[in-house]
Homo-oligomer: A and B are copies of this chain.
Amino acid sequence: MFTVRVQNEAFNIGEEIGAFCAANSSSGGIVTFVGQMRDFRGPDWDSGTAVVAMTLEHYPGMAERQLSDLTAEAQRRWPLDAVLVIHRFGKLTPGDPIVLVAVASAHRESAFDACRFLMDWLKTQAPFWKKENTPTGATWVQASASDHAKVSRWKP
């Protein structure tokens, strides 16, 4: 099953991954990526700035469509049994999961490759924008140049 969910509600990582594994118990390997909201910005907590909350803006319609297109592309490239993508929008607090990508395949290589492909593309293509609230005000997060470099390895 190939599922994309773009949602305001928080989700429970353990429940989602547990259910995904149970639903795909015949798949040899399951790889998941979880991105969580960090409570700091910068190289590490000590030298960084505290982030007390985050607002994730998204482009309704296009967000779902982009993630579905990426999932379909992953299916074309690798033999996959199932994919689950969940992405939050709205207000988040530190520790909240932002994104979950889970991939099931008979082959662990394919599961690793497809999960990484989905994350690399999601980071540069999916229309979401993070605004961080720090003690000194709210600022839009800058896009990462290295994220754009990473995606180039997946060019067909």
Q: Which of B27, B29, B45, B112 contacts A26 (CB 8 A)?
A: B45
Contact A19 B14, beta carbon cutoff 8 Å: yes
List residues of A whose CB falls within 8 A of some B CB.
12-19, 21-22, 25-36, 38-40, 44-45, 94-95, 97, 106, 108-109, 111-112, 115-116, 119, 150
B106, A116: Cβ atoms under 8 Å?
Answer: no
Residues of A contacting B: mostly: mixed
Count the copies.
2
Known contacts A26-B45, A38-B26, A109-B150; is A32 also within 8 Å of B17 by CB?
yes
Residue in B18, B36, B112, B115 whose CB lies within 8 Å of A13? B18
Let me know if B106 and A112 touch, CB within 8 A: no
Known: A14-B18, A14-B21. 13 other contacts (CB 8 A): A14-B17, A21-B36, A25-B36, A25-B94, A28-B38, A30-B35, A30-B36, A31-B31, A31-B32, A33-B108, A33-B111, A44-B106, A112-B116
Name the residue on B nearest A111 (C-beta): B33
**In the complex, which residues of chain B have a beta carbon less than 8 angstroms from the beta carbon of A30?**
32-36
A44 to chain B, nearest CB (A): 7
In the complex, 22 of the A-B residue pairs with CB atoms within 8 angstroms, ordered by the A residue number, are A12-B18, A13-B17, A13-B18, A14-B15, A14-B19, A15-B18, A17-B18, A18-B18, A21-B36, A25-B39, A26-B39, A27-B36, A28-B35, A30-B33, A30-B34, A31-B31, A31-B34, A33-B112, A44-B106, A112-B112, A112-B115, A112-B116
